[in-house]
Amino acid sequence: MVQLRGDAKQRYVADMFSSISQRYDLMNNLMTMGMHRKWKLQTANITATGLSGFALDIASGTGDLALELGKIPELTTVIGLDLIPEMVDLARIKIIRRVRMVKPAWSWESSFFAIPRRHIFLCHCRI
């Protein structure tokens, strides 16, 4: 097996996740029999215990953990970050669908998305 390093390794990983992005959530559901949802909810609750303010979800993928963190009232700002633009696009679509946005509460940039503060969530969205 070839050992990739540096930029070659990053390109390989980016290409792989880019190629599976449309099937990523389905694959998670099938491989974990849906348990990944419970794990992400537990991760969000355990991680946020005793914390308030800002949360950063690194390698956010399609945004499931960032969405769970966004439901915690003490976390006023949740940022999801991913290197794969296709994953960020899917996260954006998922968040808009899940919160049924009336009007956008944040802007989107490549490889970056922010979940609005809880009070903005409630003002601009129907959960």
pLDDT in tens, 76-105: 888 888 888 888 889 888 888 876 543 444
pLDDT at 32: 94
- Can you state the percent helix, strand and coil of the chain, rounding each to 5? 55, 15, 30
Q: What is the pTM of this model?
A: 0.72
Rg (CA), the chain: 15
Stretch (H or E) spanning 97: helix 85-99
Backbone angles phi, psi at 76, to 5 degrees: -80, -25
In order of start, what are the domains of the chain with their CATH numbers? 7-124 (3.40.50.150)
Stretch (H or E) spanning 30: helix 24-32
pLDDT in tens, 37-61: 999 999 999 988 888 888 888 888 8
Amino acid at 95: I
pLDDT in tens, 107-124: 445 444 555 444 333 333
In whole angstroms, give the CA distance from residue 84 to residue 111. Answer: 6
Percent over 90 (pLDDT), the chain: 28
pLDDT at 100: 55
